[in-house]
Structure 1
Amino acid sequence: MKRIMVTGALGQIGSDLVATLRQIYGEEAVLATDIRQIQHETLQSGPFRILDVTDHHAFHEAAQAHRADTIIHLAALLSAKAESNPALAWNLNMGGLLSALETARALSCQFFTPSSIAAFGADTPKSATPQDTLQRPHTMYGVSKVSGELLCDYYYHKYGVDTRGLRFPGLISHSAPPGGGTTDYAVEMFGAAIHKGSYISYINQGTYLDMMYMPDAIRAVIALMEADPAKLKHRNAFNVTAMSVDPEGIAASIRRHIPNFSLGYEVDPVRQAIANEWPDSIDATAAREEWGFDVQYDLNHMTDDMVSKLMEKSQADQSKIS
């Protein structure tokens, strides 16, 4: 990767990824794009452009003007929001992906887009879910992710586009707010612990889902994109994970820092139904064997860093007010 264009750059993944890419490849080498323009350090640290990813011509023109050799396509409507507006989710997730792939084909760009554990379904093996398995999701987000995996495979086999992807679990970050995913409860819980000392979870106790701390997710994207293509038997997309946890497990880890933190439950039937379709744990053997995937953060290590960073931010915010 030398000149990189990132869509959905102001989202949860994009915010951290753009910052890291600019540190590695140079500020001017990474074009950040998003449908919206808000107060954000991404706009100050390098080139930024408003982009509707479903506009094929605008997508191509932006990548061409930047002289991009790599497209990292993150723009999508996430699981919970997608269920509230399935038609919009399909048009954005698949229309945007088609714009991105067509641009990558026309400009001979390397290409990355994330998939998700939502690409599995109720009939997928729940424990140690394999890399290659039955995928029959019952959510629009999941359907679009399976379709996206297949479409990326098609562009690789049909046109030779160097497509790559990861099936992300729930991602936890201190630097960007949740974006409408089913696993957002984990991010919300940390913030609530710092500011209120309590949290009401919309996901039920005992619901185990795979999670990953954002620094590990960012490292995984870059490691995959820099990997030798000759070693990649799978491309779209690799299972990756760091931990399998339920809400009480996260709460217990938080209590090591905030002993009086309390956790209650008011289950959201829509998001709980989505979570019930997803694996309890997934097998990332293929990613480890084909490109050396690994992680640095387990649950307690992640919690230590999350609590530290959020407390620092809270203190900084209080200082501004006073």
Structure 2
Amino acid sequence: MKRILVTGALGQIGSELLGQLREAYGTDNVIGTDIREAEGEHNNGPFEVVDVTNADRLHEVAKAHNVDTIMHLAALLSAKAEIYPKVAWDINMGGLVNALEVAHELELQFFTPSSIGAFGPTTPKDQTPQDTLQRPTTMYGVNKVAGELLADYYYHRFGVDTRGVRFPGLISYVTPPGGGTTDYAVEIYYEAIKNKAYRSYIGEGTKMDMMYMPDALNAIIQLMEADPAKLEHRNAFNISAISAAPEDFGKAIQKHIPEFTLDYEVDPIRQNIANSWPNSIDSSVATKEWGFQAEYDIDRMTEDMLEKVKEKYTK
């Protein structure tokens, strides 16, 4: 039976992954950690306050709970990282190397996500390959490329069982947007239910890869359970489900809310980040090596998102 420590457990991914892991492996076998105290449903199992930039504290908690796996999710996201680049480096890189050191010292399996932010304006824009040119122009992207290389280094140098994916924009009704460039694709559903209108900070025609959170959570668990002998790659598998621009979400919403309107007020910082990312990425290597397959397309996701967001407003 796995015993898993999750950093960043109150963030966008962690807040949902925590519950799914506890359901799969048992509540007492999944230890959530974050820089603040847990509340509500997140406090229904083991939880520790941990600042990932404090290496000694991270090691202490992992050892005390006798874990065999770290899922390292603590990070500052793309838009906020551009505003606070030094803070982003300290959290994203300092926290990662601390977590990798704990995995090395305690002989733990290790997962950390990368992102489509690891690509840059010189990366092929359409059906971006698994192995390709990566020259990002954002601090978040620099962190992610360095993190991919660092995780590979710990695998090759120390034999740490490191694994990871490159997430696209993640869409969820559970956690509020957290400073990512793709967060408009979450906000648009809330505004559709509340106001039947949305003003997008990302410009018309700007395609980016997206994925519904249930597919993302399943991908993490599937990769961590995969036969290591079949993994030619270790870290930063391309995975995606949807390549879409704001108007594509608008059209999908209008199938359910015909009066919904979409207009634009472009944020230059986030638009510049979006322009540096691919239009679509090729997930075929993840499918070949560990069977990745997304279940939600934009229409199925939209139907579920609108239903769940409406439920939140009517409670």
TM-score norm. by structure 2 comes to 0.99
Question: Is 1:310 paired with 2:306?
Answer: no
**1:137-156 matches, cutoff 5 A:** 137-156=136-155
Distance 1:42 1:166 in 2: 24
Distance 1:61 1:175 in 2: 31
Residue ranges of structure 2 left out of the alignment (5+ in a row): none
2:35 is matched with 35
Q: Deviations over 1:227-253 (max 9, x none)?
A: 000100111110000010000000110
2:192 is matched with 193
**1:114-263 matches, cutoff 5 A:** 114-263=113-262
Distance 1:7 1:270 in 2: 28
Aligned length: 315
- Which SS does the other structure have where 1:293 is aligned? coil
Distance 1:249 1:36 in 2: 37
Distance 1:201 1:109 in 2: 42
Higher mean alpha-carbon deviation, 264-273 vs 252-261, is at: 252-261
- Which SS does the other structure have where 1:12 is aligned? coil
Deviation of 1:312 after TM superposition, in Å, equals 1.1
- Which SS does the other structure have where 1:215 is aligned? helix
Deviation of 1:37 after TM superposition, in Å, equals 2.1
Contact 2:184–2:202 (CA under 8 A) maintained in structure 1: yes
Deviation of 1:76 after TM superposition, in Å, equals 0.3
Distance 2:7 2:192 in 1: 32
Q: Deviations over 1:29-79 (max 9, x none)?
A: 000000112533111x21111110010000000101111100000000000
Residue ranges of structure 1 left out of the alignment (5+ in a row): 317-322
1:320 is matched with none
1:284 is matched with 283
Deviation of 1:313 after TM superposition, in Å, equals 1.3
Deviation of 1:287 after TM superposition, in Å, equals 0.1
Percent identity of equivalent pairs: 63
Distance 2:40 2:136 in 1: 35
Contact 2:38–2:47 (CA under 8 A) maintained in structure 1: no
Q: Deviations over 1:260-296 (max 9, x none)?
A: 1111100000100000000000000100000000011
Contact 2:114–2:148 (CA under 8 A) maintained in structure 1: yes
**Residue identity in the other structure for 2:248:** G
Distance 1:27 1:225 in 2: 18
Contact 2:72–2:111 (CA under 8 A) maintained in structure 1: yes
